[in-house]
Amino acid sequence: MAARSSLQGAAITPSSSIPTLSALADPPARVMDGAAMDYFLIELVNTVRASSAVAVARTKKVEQEMIDAGLLPVPPPNAAAAPASMRDSMASTGSKLDGKIARDEDEEAVRLRLESIGMHVGANVAERLCHDRALFENTLDAIKFICKDLWSACWDKQVDNLRTNHRGVYVLQDNSFKTIQRISSWGGRADALKKAKIYVAMPAGIIKGALARLGLQTVVVPEITTLPQCTFQVKLPKGA
C-alpha cells in the first residue's frame, strides 16, 4: 500500500517522493537483538532434536513393519561389529553399541536438519548482502566476502584467520565464535565440547547456503578444537 501511494505520488510531486523511493531501493539495515537470536537458536536445536526423534522413530516403525511383512530383507544385526561367536558374552556391550549407534544416527538426523535450515537462511542472507556488489572475480573473492560481510552480518565480527591450499580447500578460523561462546557444562570442558558440536551445524549450513547461492557447490565441515575457537573447512569441487 505504501509502495503504491509513493509511485502514484511520483508523477505529481517528484521532490517529496524521492526520499520514499530511495528508501525503498536502499532500505535501512535492520538489526535483530543478539540475545533474542540466541534464545531462538537454543530453542531451535531443542525443537529440531525432538521433532527429528519423532520422525526417525516413525521411519523405523514403518521399516519394521515392512520387514515383518516380508517386503524388506532383514538387515544384518548391528552385532556384526562384534563377532558372532562372542555374542553371548558381549551381549551387554552389543546392546551398548546398538544404543550408541542409534544415538549417533539421531544426532546425525538432527545435524542434517539444522544444516538444511542453515542453508536456506544463508542463501537468503547472501542474496540480501550482495544486491549492490559487483560480480566476484574468482572463488577467493567469494570466500573473502563470506569471511567479512557474512560473518559481520551474522556474528558481529570478521573471521580471524583464512587459510587455503590453493587447490580448493579453505579453512576459516574464528577464535571466539559467537554461537559457542557461552557454552559451558557441569561436566567440564570435554563434555561441553562434545555437546557444542551440534550448535555449529547451523552456522555451517549458513556458509554452505550462501556459497551455493553464489554459485559454488561446497562441502563445509565445522570443527571445534577448543571452546570457543571454531574452524570451518570449505571444500570446493575439483576444477573450481
Partner 1 sequence: MTIYSLYIYDRHCACVYYHDWQRVKPARPAIEGGILPAVSHEVTPNTNTPAAVDPSRRNTLMSLSGVVVAVNDEVPRTPLPNATSSPSLNSGLPFDEEAKLVYGVVLSLRNMIRKISGKDEQFVNYRTSTYKLHLYETLSGYKFIMLSDPNADSLRFVLRQIYSGPFLEYVVRNPLVQMDSKEHGIDNEYFRTSTDRMIRGLSVFQ
Q: Which is nearer to partner 1, 10 or 41 (CB)?
A: 41
User: Nearest approach, Cβ of 240 to partner 1 (angstroms)?
Assistant: 35
Burial string for 43-79 (b: 16+ CB within 10 Å, else e) reads eebeebbeebeeebeeeeeeeeeeeeeeeeeeeeeeb
Residue among 35 and 135 whose Cβ is closer to partner 1: 35
- The CA distances from residue 1 to 7, 12, 17, 22, 124, in Å, are 10, 17, 14, 16, 24
User: 140: Cβ–Cβ under 8 A, 6 or more apart, which residues?
Assistant: 164
The residue among 153 and 183 lying less far from partner 1, judged by its C-beta, is 183
One-letter amino acid of 177: F
**Smallest gap from residue 180 Cβ to partner 1 (A):** 8
How many Cα atoms sit within 13 Å of 233 on the Cβ side? 10
CB of 188 to partner 1, least distance (A): 7
Residues of the shown chain interacting with partner 1 in the complex, contacts defined by CB under 8 A:
35, 38-39, 41-42, 45, 182-186, 188-189, 192, 195-196, 199
Minimum CB–partner distance for residue 150 and partner 1 (Å): 22
CB nearer to partner 1: pick between 24 and 50: 50
